[in-house]
Structure 1
Amino acid sequence: MYGMSGTLTVPSVVAPSTPEPNGLLGLLTLGGLILAGTVSKSRK
């Protein structure tokens, strides 16, 4: 999981002028929300 996030953040830094980083940020945000939801459910 950490390896994937590290790999995804590289292109956004290398090519900020491309629209791809926005999509990557969206995917990372969705992934974070999903992880947060699963963690909160497991704690309850």
Structure 2
Amino acid sequence: DLDYELRRQGGSSYVGQRLASGLPNSEEVMVHESPKKQRSDHPQS
């Protein structure tokens, strides 16, 4: 099962890819990974 293999190998990486696929943009995933970096890249937020 491909889903099982991805989960077994990546874990958080698998979850991040699934979130990026489900959300209108991947910035939400970036916020969870490094909120300080994301905030620095987008000061207007």
Q: Normalized against structure 1, the TM-score is what? A: 0.34
Q: Normalized against structure 2, the TM-score is what? A: 0.33
